[in-house]
Amino acid sequence: MAKTKYPGVYQDEKGVFFYHIELGVDKVTGKRIQKKSRKDSNGKRFSSARAAYKEVTRIKNEYLMQNGYANYRLTFGEFMNSFYLPHYQSSVEESTWETRKHVLWEIRDRFFDKELREIGVRDCESYRTWLLSESGHSQNYAGLIYGAFRQAMEYAVTLQYLKENVSKKTKSIPKGRSLVEYWTKEQFEKVISVIYTNNFYEHMCFVAIWLYYMTGVRISEGLALRWDDVDFKKKKLRIHHTLQMKSLKDFKRKPYTKTVDGMRTISLDDDTLKVLQNWKLVQSEYGIDDFIISYTGLPVYRSTIPRIIKRYAKVAKVPQIQGKGLRHSHVSYLINEFNADILVVSQRLGHSSPEITLKHYAHLWSRNDELIAEKMAGNIKILPAKETMIDFNGNQNIEGSLIPYQNPTKGMKKP
């Protein structure tokens, strides 16, 4: 029997996963309450340690709910460590857990020694105010933290540790207005002009920046691209995977994207096809024939892309942007150079609807009415009347000279 990284989950000598946990002590017999199984509630064997751990979390939660309000002196730190963190980790993707765990740890440490039942509305409001004014976090990040805190408190209600979620009596922290910086076509041209492609690693940097700018793929989608995703004859790029990478020996190429609609195939322009064909030949000389953005045969870390951007932005003397700034740059390029409509952009980005695209990129269409304004000029014929057609009674606040001349015979019947 071997332990796994999940508490209470093990793997036997045949590689079968199972759980063995203690839920507490029977109040009548005084004996320990234990549960052990190799199957979930539907009678299916566990396919992984994570699947077994999900069942462990479900059983513990069910036990707690059946046993009513328990452990009145439970501290917030104990609640987070023993219940909410395991629950959250088993409920989300591993990549989501890796990015959110630091937020949850910060929340836990804020009220660590305070009893869960003693956290009141004033404590919540004080925390909210601190996040907005003294934490040093941006408003968006502060909102993320406070939202996670409210979710944790709601889970305490679910487990019947609390009668109500007092944090909901305070306002949530609204998202601040944040516009992602991007490169214009001219700035992009400056960047690629300072990359020395005769160097193998720099050539990869060129391909990475070019690919993200010209396709608008998400960072994790681009890192997961392999050569079999490119159809050079049909001029198409298949985007059906994302990459999760902890180390060079521990990475996963997930067979799905951020959303269902993110699974897409987009068209490639001839210039991008030439860039890729040339890079494929260069890679083959080094025995690399799998991942497109690679110089070792293995995928590169997610943090590599921001470093590449920062390095060449500095040399080219253009604004430094985030990795997702290249996705914004692609949208700007499509709109400003080709007047692309919202539906085309939405489909190319892998959004579920044009409304989602507008929500994030509406500001990039701000110049989209210039051509319309130019076409409007001279389109309307202006033929002013030669005399007034109305009977103007005048106004005592208006000088007589400003009142249109009235024809005294207008409206009179002929004799």
Sequential DSSP letters for 200-245:
HHHHHHHHHHHHHHHH---HHHHHH-BGGGEETTTTEEEE--EEEE
Q: What is the pLDDT, as a whole number, of residue 403?
A: 53
Compute and round to an integer the Cα radius of gyration of the chain: 32
Residues 6+ apart with CB under 8 A from 386: none
175-201 as b/e: b if 16+ CB within 10 A: eeeeebebbeeebbebbbebbebeeee
| Predicted local confidence at residue 354, as pLDDT | 85
- How much is the pLDDT for 72? 63
What proportions of the chain, in percent to the nearest 5, are helix, strand and coil? 50, 10, 40
pLDDT in tens, the chain (415 residues): 788 888 889 999 889 999 998 876 665 566 778 889 999 888 899 999 999 999 988 888 777 665 544 456 789 999 999 899 999 998 888 878 888 999 999 999 999 999 999 999 999 999 999 999 999 888 889 999 999 999 999 999 988 888 899 999 999 998 766 678 999 999 999 999 999 999 999 999 999 999 999 999 999 999 999 999 999 999 999 999 999 888 888 888 988 888 888 899 999 999 999 999 999 999 999 999 999 999 999 999 999 999 999 999 999 999 999 999 999 999 989 988 888 888 889 999 998 888 888 877 777 766 656 767 777 778 888 888 888 777 756 555 555 555 555 555 555 555 4
**Contact assessment for residue 102 and residue 111, using Cβ atoms and an 8 Å cutoff:** no
CATH number for the domain whose boundaries are 185-365? 1.10.443.10
What pLDDT was estimated at residue 118? Answer: 93
- What single-letter amino acid sits at 44? K
pLDDT score of 19 = 92
Output the pLDDT for position 69: 44
User: Rounded to an integer, what distance in angstroms lies between the CA atom of residue 306 and that of residue 220?
Assistant: 12
Range(s) within the chain of domains with CATH label 1.10.443.10: 185-365
Please identify which residue in the block is written with the tokens 């130019």.
Answer: 374
Determine the pLDDT at residue 320.
Answer: 94
